[in-house]
Amino acid sequence: MAELRTEEEQVQALKSWWDENGKSLILGIAVALAAVLGWKGWQQHESVQAENGSILYQNLLDSVVGAIGPQQDEAKLATANHLSGQLKADYDDTAYANYAALIMARVAVEQGELDKALTELDWVLAHQPTESIFVLASMRKARIIADQGDADKALTIINSVPVAGYVVSINELKGDIYLAKGEIAQAKSAYETALNASTANNRPLLEMKLNDLAAQES
Amino acid sequence: MLQSIRDNSQGIIAKIIVGLIAVTFALFGVESLVSLTAGSNSPATVNGEEISQQDLIQGVQLQKRQMLSQMGEDADPALLDDNLISNMVLEGLIEQSVLVQSATDQGLSFSDAMIDQLILTTPDFQQDGQFNRAQFEAVLRNAGLTPMMYRNLVRKEKVTEQERAAFMLSAFTLPSELKTIAQLDSQTRDLRYFTLPAESVRASIEVSDEEIADYFDKHRTEFLTDEQVAIEYLLLERDVLASEITVTDEQLQNAYQLLVDTFQAQELRHSAHILVAISDEQDDAAAKAKADALVERLAAGEAFEALAKAESDDPASAEMGGDLGVNAKGVFSSEFEGALFALEKGQTTSTPIRTEFGYHIIKLIDVEETETPTFAEAKADLENDLLTQLSEEAYVAQLERLADISFSSGDLVEPSETLELEIHKTDLFARSGDEDEITANPKVLSVAFDGELIKEGLNSTPIELDSGRAVVLRVVQHELPREKTIDEVSANIKDTLIDEKVSQALTAQADGIIAKLKQGESLENVASGATVMTLAGVARSQQDLAQELRTAAFKLPKPAADSISYTAVDMLDGSKSILVLDNVIDAEIDLKPEEISYMSMMLSNRKGQQDYQDYITQLKEKAEVERL
């Protein structure tokens, strides 16, 4: 069709096409560019987040090792508190923040601050942990609550979590709670469920607890 | 024909085909074709991610090396079952892959900068406390890794380690839980027991030939001999070759001459110099003029040392009056060396010598000649060296001939005749080898049981036992595992049957005793003469009581007041014990703070480990793993 026109006509046609579609074309390109750049930028941000989180977490691990167990180093404990605080504040959407809170719950238990440990565990539960971390945090929460005397609440918590791969641990914990409540038969049956689900001989403490209940049979 | 191809290729169908090919390449690249033909041969895929053959091979090699070094000198190749190791390593790789994927999914990362930092601070890669690139590469090469592969490994290890730490470090033990465990662990129990010994029953047991035959018929396929081979072999030894070599006088003389020559080359000269350097401030002509002036001043009687101190442009030697120390040939540049070795002792060069540094005025202070040993002194050493060298040469040459001839002949006769080596024959032996040094050697064993050699009866390639001995072998007899005859196994069967009968008799006896206890008879009564042992306060870890009894004692129900609980216990030696639990003592325990701290650390660690192990099991169950 083009060969029919003169050069001028072609220029004219181009111009009118541009008038008609120019804006939407530029807009289209701009939107596409923005989308690509935005995506790239977001990815970049994510990976920077992850890397910074990783560095903070690595440092946290170093200081926590010094803050727990027999050595109980005050300075390391302060560092650990600071680092976990930073992780939870600025990197709260990374897995590192969840790990940090889990670890700090343990530190709090060793310091005798059970309520603080509960706060940390609740923080984990509120921040989209993986299923596995969710179960672990719930079990730990139930243990602390049972220790504080509310066995029924502990049982409610433990009965509501998905079992995932933790059949043995969950049932052992149920047994512990029932035993604390004085419900020997339930405790025994929970321990038995746990022991049946475990691989041979890798839970000596569980066997010990179960064997100790054998008395009530005879 | 070309024309017809050309015509056809213009057709519409041809164009479509070409178009399709073009589109395929454009979208999927050459890989689409390559991968179509090659298919996947990776040993396993985990959630669609391949574990490469190379990773597996590398892992297997590493594992083997570790196992062999653990087993030490008498490594048993039968334990190094390739299939077994390969499976083990593959399972490990699958687990690793699952864990890395889980870490990646959660967004865990370990950046290049962090890896750099780690590499820089790894002691293995350091020399004198500093990171050393050459050292780093050497260590990696030894492990068969490239820096790229190593970084990748570190990244994988670190992200999984980060997740593992979250499990391990976060597990805790509450004081109340610790107390329960400690209380249970320190519980003690009061026991009484007596034993029904197997030996006394065994004497009265008889097993008839019919019973043995009957048992043999039923279990025939369980009694198999080991696979066995007998081989013949040639042993090439360097020491034997050495004993046939005599070193001639002429060879000794030549070697001595060579020795003398090298000694002369080692003449040492003590020299000094004055350097007039050619530099930016002092061009060639100026330097030469200055050097010439210095030569004249020396000729006029000025002391070399003083002049060197004052004028030399070589600050290090100028300090010491130009002294360069004692040196052999090959240290200085050739112009310098030529001039130095042309000098007589105490002489100085009459003109400056031009080298790349500038003009040197050289003085020979002293000549130290090392004393050349006499022929008699050197003879013993030379003879020894020559013998080693000649026998090594002969050994290598013979080894090559042995390889060639045994490859081309059907049996060992020809190589034996050509190389004048005796053919040794062995008895039948199994994969585990026997006492003979050759047939106990792991390398020999693995070759002797090589399927190809067994089937074809071929000569093996030379197997180097050590640096001075090699073996070529050939399998002459091969016995597959076969069922043993009744005569070979009747003794074993008889023992098995006796054990069975003893156990039956003892069980009946024990059942009777337990029934009497149930009716309220005392243990002393039912023991009917056997010694009753009484133990008060037995702990879980008490060493002086048999493990079987302790385990059973702590499994028994707690007896009510004024009552007992009891059971029959199978002992390791086939005897039976009748065990009575009188009392359980839950003493109040009082732990010191250090003990509490230590125990809680231990319990927490164990918990963390269990949680992590459960987590791995779970990941593996969920993962889609395909094994080749």
What residue of A is the nearest CA neighbor of B540? Answer: A208
Would you state the pLDDT for residue A123? 95
- The pTM (predicted TM-score) of the whole model is 0.64
* 3-state SS, one letter per residue, for A152-204: HHHHHHHHHCCCCCCHHHHHHHHHHHHHHHCCHHHHHHHHHHHHHHCCCCCCH
What is the distance between the alpha carbons of residues B328 and A82, in angstroms, rounded to a whole number?
A: 66
Res B172: pLDDT: 93
Please give the average per-residue pLDDT across B244-268, as a whole number.
Answer: 81
- Nearest beta carbon to residue A51 from set B109, B166, B180: B109
Q: Which member of B559, B560, B618 has the closest CB to residue A132?
A: B618
* CA angle, residues A50, A51, A56, in degrees to nearest 5: 95
- In order, the DSSP letters of B571-599 are -TTS-EEEEEEEEEE-------HHHHHHH
Q: Are B109 and A144 a contacting pair at CB < 8 A? A: no
Determine the pLDDT at residue B200.
83
- Which residues of chain A have a CB within 8 Å of the CB of B163? 99
Alpha helices in B75-146 (DSSP H): 82-105, 112-121, 133-142
> Region B306-331: what's the mean pLDDT?
83
Amino acid at residue number B188: T
Give the distance, in angstroms, between the CA of residue B103 and the centroid of all CA atoms in the same chain: 30
Q: Under an 8 A CB cutoff, do A99 and B177 touch?
A: no
The 10s digit of each residue's pLDDT in B172-214 is: 999 989 998 999 988 999 999 999 888 888 888 888 888 888 8
Interface TM-score (ipTM) > 0.85: no
* Domain coordinates in residue numbering, chain A: 38-129, 130-218
Across A37-46, B14-23, B101-110, B168-177, least confident range: B14-23
CB < 8 Å to A103, chain B: 166, 169-170
**By CA distance, what is B164's nearest residue in A?**
A99
Place of tokens 């990783």: A54
Tell me which chain B residues have a C-beta less than 8 angstroms from the C-beta of A61: 162, 165, 169
DSSP, res B345: T
Gap between the Cα atoms of A174 and A218, Å rounded: 24
d(CA B317, CA B311): 11
- The H or E element containing residue B186 is none
Percent helix, strand and coil across chain A, each to the nearest 5? 85, 0, 15
pLDDT of residue B33: 57
**Mean pLDDT, chain A cut into blocks of 10 residues (218 residues total):** 69 88 90 92 84 90 82 83 91 91 93 93 93 94 93 92 88 93 91 88 86 67
Q: Do the strands B188-196 and B565-570 form a parallel or antiparallel pair, or are they unpaired? A: unpaired
Is residue B78 scored above 80 in pLDDT? no
pLDDT of B110 > 60? The answer is yes
Residue pair B173/A139 in contact (Cβ under 8 Å)? The answer is no
Q: How far apart (Å, rounded) are the C-alpha atoms in residues B505 and B204?
A: 10
Q: What is the DSSP string of B50-66?
A: EEPHHHHHHHHHHHHHH
Query: Which pLDDT score, from 0 to 100, does residue B160 have?
Result: 92
Does the pLDDT value for residue B15 go beyond 50?
yes
Contact with chain A for residue B150, Cβ under 8 A: no
List CB contacts (< 8 A) between A132 and chain B.
615, 618
Q: What is the DSSP letter of A216?
A: G
Contact assignment for A214 to B556 by CB distance below 8 Å: yes
Q: Decide if B614 and A168 are in contact by the 8 Å CB cutoff.
A: yes
Q: Which of B113, B170, B600 sits opposite A102 (nearest CB)?
A: B170
Question: Given pLDDT bands bounded at 50, 70 and 90, which one contains residue B507?
Answer: very high
Say if B602 is an interface residue toward chain A (CB within 8 Å).
no
CB contact under 8 A, A47 and B169: no
Selected residues 382-441 of chain B with any CB under 8 Å from a CB in chain A = none
Query: Which pLDDT score is estimated for A73?
Result: 78
- Terminal alpha carbon distance of chain B: 48
The answer to whether the beta carbons of residues B474 and B455 sit under 8 Å apart is: no
DSSP β-bridge partners for residue B470:
B236, B464
Name the minimum distance, in Å, from the CA of B105 to any CA of chain A. 10
CA pair distance B563, B584, nearest whole angstrom: 12
* Count of residues making up chain B: 628
B117 reaches A (C-beta below 8 A): no
* DSSP helix/strand/coil, B219: helix
Q: For A59-80, b where at least 16 C-beta lie within 10 A, e where not — what string?
A: bbbebbebbbeeeeeeebbebb
**CA B500 – CA B238 distance, rounded (Å):** 58
Contact B194, B575 (CB under 8 A): no
Q: Which residues of B touch A184 (CB under 8 A)?
A: none
User: How many residues would you count in chain A?
Assistant: 218
Which residue of B109, B117, B601 to mutate against A (max A Cβ within 10 Å)?
Answer: B109
Q: Which of residues 181-220 of B touch A (CB under 8 A)?
A: 181, 184-185, 187
Task: Write out the H or E segment, with its range, that includes residue B326.
Answer: strand B323-327
B108 touches chain A (CB under 8 A): yes
Q: Which residue of B has its CA nearest to A145?
A: B174
Reading the block at residue A191, the tokens are 């321990």
DSSP classification of residue B313: S
Q: Using alpha carbons only, what angle is made at residue A158 by residues A153 and A162, rounded to the nearest 5 degrees?
A: 145
Report yes or no: B174 at the A interface, CB cutoff 8 Å: yes
Tell me what pLDDT residue B72 has: 65
pLDDT digits (tens, 9 = 90+) for B541-559: 888 888 899 989 998 988 8
pLDDT at A147: 92
> A130-218: what fold?
1.25.40
Higher confidence at residue B279 or residue B399? B399
CB contact under 8 A, B559 and A211: no
Edge to edge, what strands does the sheet with B565-570 contain? B533-539, B188-196, B576-585, B565-570
* B 539-558 → A contacts, CB under 8 A: 554-558
DSSP at B126:
E
Is residue B98 over pLDDT 90? yes
Cβ distance B273 to B362 under 8 Å? Answer: yes
| The CATH fold of domain A38-129 | Glutathione S-transferase Yfyf (Class Pi); Chain A, domain 2 (1.20.1050)
